[in-house]
Amino acid sequence: MSAIPAVLTIGFITDKSIVLGLDPVGIVLLVMSLMVSIVTFMLPRTNVLLGAVHLLMFLAYLVLLFER
């Protein structure tokens, strides 16, 4: 069992609000990565461009992680 669904279930049962602790930049990167992943998996074949987009987003995450 994964930790996040377990925490969400316990929070729902105990009527507590759950905060993931993401800052606005983290939320934007999470949403962007989900959108790019959806586009990648909807296509019948992937290409180098989509792989490069994933890698660039990961590098942006690393840069922003060590900037703070």
Q: What's the pLDDT tens digit per position in 4-55?
A: 788 889 999 999 888 878 888 888 888 899 899 999 999 998 889 999 999 9
Residue 59: per-residue pLDDT: 94
Bigger pLDDT: 19 vs 62: 62
Please say whether the dihedral angle defined by the alpha carbons of residues 17, 18, 24 and 27, taken in this order, is positive or negative: negative
What pTM, to 2 d.p., does this model score? 0.64
